[in-house]
Structures are given as structure tokens and as C-alpha cells.
Amino acid sequence: MDRKVILITGASSGMGKETAKALIGQGHTVYTVARRIEQMQDLESLGGYPIQMDVTNERDIQNVVDTIILKEGKIDVLWNNAGYGLYGAVEDIPVDEARKQFEVNLFGLASVTQKVLPSMRKAKSGTIINTSSMGGKMYTPLGAWYHASKHAVEGLSDCLRLELKEFNIHVVVLEPGIIVTEFGDVMLQNISAFSSKGYYASLTGKLIAATKKMYDSGRGSKATVIANTVSKIVKSEKPKTRYRVGLWAKPMVWMRIYLGDSLFDKIVMSQV
């Protein structure tokens, strides 16, 4: 097997952790980073290399990349997976909170990419996987800032793919659907904090109820579907530009593209 050096951000839980376990098990050299290093000790016991890092801290990022290059001489795969969902009405969300959403979901992703690229260009080889979402192609009420950040990831990734083609560096967009992770809990915390009162109380209550019902029923896909998909990307010499996986990912994006705004609006609102 072609063993690769892989860097995964946002690996302390959910999709990142599950995938890291799978890749370590396949014999790859896997570096995992997150703010909560205490939640990655199990990865170290499996043979991974956890390092504490905040994707919004430039010095943190540079130190991690330098450490990996010094030890391994290269980074074959970068998976920009760190992110979270800020939910609440546009009128209610403080702009400073919206900036934090973009700092993590977009600018953090871009900063890690910038610091990994010199070694990939030198090697004329590499794969960058950017975690977007089905939410990068469609929208839901009270999710404006989250969706905006993921739409931005889509645009950045498309431009980056064209820029890096001559260096034989692949850029892949991962578009998960509903995956059973901590994402739902964080989303509900944000809604409760920013939009539980006032003019949007009715809509907020309906969205909270619908979200809890969905997650409590266990209807979301397991994180293993992401692990299997990323493993496939890592192995591929010519990965696809997009991988849309998990509950609702393909049908929701299909409906957004082909049904038009008015009909899609009705479908989305019928769920809340």
C-alpha cells in the first residue's frame, strides 16, 4: 500500500476522528489537530500524531506544518475539516459572531492550505480535501451565516482547483449530508443563544423541534460513511472534484438545482 502523510483538522470528534481511526488502521501516517487535544489521546494510542492547534491562529498552523515537514519531509493529503454551524436569524446574530464563523470555516481553511501548499508544489503532488456541506449548495432558515461560509468554501475550492492543476495537486470538495456528530448539539446551542426570543421565536421553536426530532430518531448517516469516502479519495490517483454523501445530500442538492427558488422554499419550510 502507498502510505501517505495526512493532516486532518477538526479531528477531536465526529467525522474527523472517525476518519482518522480508519486511515491510521490502513497504515497511513496521520497527524490530527484540534483545540481539544485531550479528546485525541485515543488516536495517539492507535498510532496517530495528535497536536493541539487552533485554525484561527497563524502561529499554531505554521508550527504544526513545520513540525510535520521536518519529521516526514512532506504532506501528501490535507483534509480541512474543522468547522461548526452558527445558526440564528440574520437580524439577531451579532456580526462579530458571524466573523468568527468565517474565521473558522473559511479563513482558517485558507490559512492551513496556504502553509501546506509550498511543500506540495515542490513535490508536484498532493490532495487537498475541503469539507463543505450539502449546505454549500442549498439553504435553510436561520442558517444564513453557516450557509454563507460553506458557499464560500465551494467558490474558494473551485478557484484553487484551477490554480493548482499545473502542479498536479488535486482539490476535492466533500459535501456531507446529515451526519450524526456533535454538529447538531452546537447548532442548537447557537439557536438557543441568539434567536430564542423576539420576532423569530416561532420559527426558531419549529426549527429546534424539527432538528431534535431528526437527531433523536437517529436518522442521520454514521460518520463511517465519511471515513469510507475520505479513504477512497486518499487512495485515488484522480479523485473526483466533489463527493456528496450522507442522508439527504444528493436529493436536497438535486432539488435546489432543478426545482427553482419558489418550490424549493416551500419544500424547506414544510420541514419546519
Q: At what angle do helices 224-235 and 14-25 cross, to 10 degrees?
A: 50
Cα separation of 53 and 56, whole Å?
9
55-60: long-range contacts at Cβ-Cβ below 8 A with a sequence spacing of 24 or more?
55/9, 55/10, 55/82, 55/104, 55/108, 55/109, 55/111, 55/112, 56/103, 56/104, 56/107, 56/108, 58/111
200 is catalytic: no
Contacts of 166 (CB under 8 A, 6+ apart): none
- Which residues, 6 or more positions from 102, have their beta carbon under 8 angstroms from its beta carbon? 145, 148, 149, 152
Phi-psi region of 204 (alpha: psi -120 to 50; beta: other; left: phi over 0): alpha
CA 153, 177, 17, 21 torsion-angle sign:
negative
Determine the Cα–Cα distance for residues 11 and 212; give it in Å rounded to an integer: 24
Q: Please, which residues have CB within 8 angstroms of residue 68's CB and are 6 or more apart in sequence? A: 5, 7, 31, 75
Select which of 87, 139, 146, 200 is catalytic.
146
- The phi and psi torsions of 180 (rounded to 5 degrees) equal -75, 100
In whole angstroms, what is the distance from residue 154 CA to residue 176 CA?
Answer: 13
Active site members: 146
